[in-house]
A and B are shown apart, each in its own frame.
Chain A
Amino acid sequence: MKLDTSGLESTAPLFGANTVLFDGFKDVPSFDVPKTNDFDGFQKEAIQMVKPAKGTTTLAFIFKEGVIVAADSRASMGGYISSQSVKKIIEINPYMLGTMAGGAADCQFWHRNLGIKCRLHELANKRRISVTGASKLLANILYSYRGMGLSVGTMIAGWDETGPGLYYVDSEGGRLKGTRFSVGSGSPYAYGVLDSGYRYDMSVQEAAELARRSIYHATFRDGASGGVASVYYVGPSGWKKLSGDDVGELHYNYYPVLPSTVEQEMTES
């Protein structure tokens, strides 16, 4: 499997004289794999060893007005919470967002790399790259590193000439187009709230509130999710951060403490 290092070059070549169909594959030396009896088992073990658990909750969905992207902000290392203030929504360019789930370094690096490629595409072709194209570029790169321990579960959300776009891209090389996605260890809980409350024609405020509530409920039940629930909106003129609320405080918004009546008052005699 040849490594695609076109992402690591400072100026990615716009085209090559190679007659091979795939873009970006070059003759780069790859490392020798050790000889074992059970190669598949060895590969699986290697992946499990390197792959950190995707402890997070991120979600994104398309609705009438555009795309809503939301995420929590907790980073965990096993049972230790290493940070409560991680930026999990990455700004690729003024009209495209990416979410982070899996390895933080992997997500950050490859999203920035994708931003470079998108800008180069704009300069070369005098038009913005589509969300389809951007997600495809990222998926191709991740596919070429398949089996080498990258851990990326990201959603690419943006607005292009054809309207709102949302793609799920992961480090296995999968790429799915869709209208509702949630990624991470808290995603089952987020899906429950998101799916039951989703309608296509919501206003921006309603959609943001749905996203916020879904993230909150995921952080309530999932130990690896927490911190701040950030909500972004992507519309025709680009993305805008709508809110960032601490989930501890959000809890009391949804479940305020009711003053209870005291049956017997203890009086001081």
Chain B
Amino acid sequence: MARYDRAITVFSPDGHLFQVEYALEAVRKGNAAVGVRGTDTVVLGVEKKSTVKLQDSRLSGADNLLLLSCRSVRKIVNLDCHIALACAGLKADARVLINRARVECQSHRLTVEDPVTVEYITRYIAGLQQKYTQSGGVRPFGLSTLIAGFDPYTGVPALYQTDPSGTFSAWKANATGRNSNSMREYLEKNYKETSGQETVKLAIRALLEVVESGGKNIEVAVMTKEHGLQQLEEAEIDAIVAEIEAEKTAAEAAKKAPPKET
């Protein structure tokens, strides 16, 4: 096995590309990220590791210079006005991929005078990730992305996921990164068509399965057709988390109550 993981262009005898699988491992160690698609909203949420004390979160990695809140956006970024991306895995690789995707979005607008569709830019990113699994001297990108957005003409919301091997598919809801299996199980059990605030709550509930509760540990961004990408403030997230906890305790109390009445 050791002989087949040096150069990624080499298949192993049993048909594995080990570098790609190791890249998937890197993704599994990255921060948790979740995406949920509603009827009129798409929500992206990521786990935020509690900030290191001396780090100035206001300035580091600011992708959105217009964001005036005290937390800079690092993990959920805009690719164009109507498309957003969240990822899990190597953040440095993410920067490169995001820059290329942003250039492609503008290049598409220039050559075809149309904004990209979510499917087009996902296909581009996935194609880029695949290219790096079939070239000499390079390693695959160590990240999986969740791409959310609206079709510029039909206004239909869409959510896609790509991974280091270069495959992509559309999802109603998905999770990636650390503990993504538990999040996915939760979503499979509890997913239903939602809209607006309900979609946001579903995404946060899924994240809370694996992340410590609290606004300072999760970052949530809501994508709507009218307003584009909106980051939720810490205070807003705390409020929603409080609502969710209240609903949970109410549900548990309802479960316990009936036996007492008999």
Contact = CB atoms under 8 A, between A and B. Distances in A.
A140 B119 contact: no
A23 B107 contact: yes
A124 B108 CA distance: 14
A21 interface: yes
Nearest to A140: B111
Nearest to B120: A125
Contacts of A21: 103, 106-107, 110
A132 B104 contact: no
A130 interface: yes
A19 B103 contact: yes
Given A15-B124, A130-B112, A125 B100 contact: no
A182 B13 CA distance: 66
A216 to B, nearest CB: 35
A161 interface: yes
B128 interface: yes
Interface in B138-197: 153
A23 B128 CA distance: 16
A180 interface: no
B114 interface: yes
A14 B153 CA distance: 21
Interface in A101-136: 124-127, 129-130, 132-133, 136
Contacts of B123: 124
Given A21-B103, A21-B106, A161-B153, A125 B111 contact: no
A137 B100 contact: no
Interface in A12-65: 14-15, 17, 19, 21-24
A135 to B, nearest CB: 9
B248 to A, nearest CB: 42
Contacts of A15: 104, 124, 127
Give the interface residue-count category, chain B.
10 to 19
B131 interface: yes
Nearest to A23: B111
Nearest to A21: B107
A136 B104 CA distance: 16
Contacts of A14: 127
A23 B105 CA distance: 12
A128 B95 CA distance: 32
A15 B120 CA distance: 10
A129 B104 CA distance: 18
B113 A133 contact: yes
A22 B100 CA distance: 13
Nearest to A24: B111
Given A22-B111, A23-B110, A129-B112, 20 more contacts: A14-B127, A17-B100, A17-B131, A19-B100, A21-B107, A22-B110, A23-B107, A24-B111, A125-B117, A125-B120, A127-B117, A130-B112, A130-B113, A130-B114, A133-B111, A133-B112, A133-B113, A137-B111, A137-B112, A140-B111
**Would you list the 3 A-B pairs with minimal beta carbon distance, nearest first?**
A133-B112, A23-B111, A132-B113
Interface of A: 14-15, 17, 19, 21-24, 124-127, 129-130, 132-133, 136-137, 140, 161
25 contacts: A15-B124, A17-B100, A17-B128, A19-B100, A19-B103, A21-B103, A21-B106, A21-B107, A21-B110, A22-B107, A22-B110, A23-B110, A124-B123, A125-B119, A127-B117, A132-B112, A132-B113, A132-B114, A133-B112, A133-B113, A136-B111, A136-B112, A136-B113, A137-B111, A140-B111
